[in-house]
Structure 1
């Protein structure tokens, strides 16, 4: 349990630029339950970091991979959605359509978030993730023909796009009621 505290503190400290948490970890009482990553506020911090460093493909890939690790429970997935994770995924795909690392991280976190929820899949579609995937497929189909890295990237995009397409008609459209 203590190694998890140190690891979580290291992740949080590296994202915030603070090192105050590391000194406290050595004196942690073993009977006290460590705060969850949700309680530490890691999801909104990572999503904010992605928005501020949109031009950096490496930051996008690492941040999206980290968000993928935060999909361990329904409440953590809901927390990510509330903080705009699908907007972050769409923005990363739009900004880095040729990056295998960004596409891989984005599609994997997308599938982890939507695997058990048609509603979250519809929210991803509404945020523009499906359109971003389709844009990558449309612009890259001929360019990477025969390229191993390109074909993996395109297969991930196609699988994710089909997954969202399958969910597209499952949720009724929101009906606006006028008073």
Structure 2
């Protein structure tokens, strides 16, 4: 994707602002539109993960669930993780976060577009330098922690994947949190 194409997509999304429902992201393949608003299990999962992480992380770090997006202009990627672990000091900027300032990106799999989390973000997050990517999947009650970015002929990829099921503790970098009582999609 050319820089011009990426900037045109970004401007289009900005012009849409709140005109269309759902969430928009820009990937190496183009615009991803998750048309449905997050469901209560999705939002509750993100909330519980955020709160559990903040109990075990150092005070200078936050598990952030709001805006802005993370954006890598050279790669032409704009994403919005459900939970971003980032130093509070790195949030003191205007505009999108630099993805290389994230310590962890957490995604709660969308019922309507699971490939966005299980395929697209597994490709994009190591490409933009996010060192740890964690997926929680309310469809299956399972997830995975991806780490150890390494080069491949197709670009950077995560070398290590540790799967977990809801009910087991999960270790994310140096912090272990419970996955008990995380909601599932009905």
- The structure whose Rg is larger is 1
Higher strand share: 2
**Given the two structures, how large is their TM-score scaled by the length of structure 2?**
0.29
- What TM-score do the two structures reach when normalised by structure 1? 0.30
- Which structure has more helix as a fraction of its residues? 1
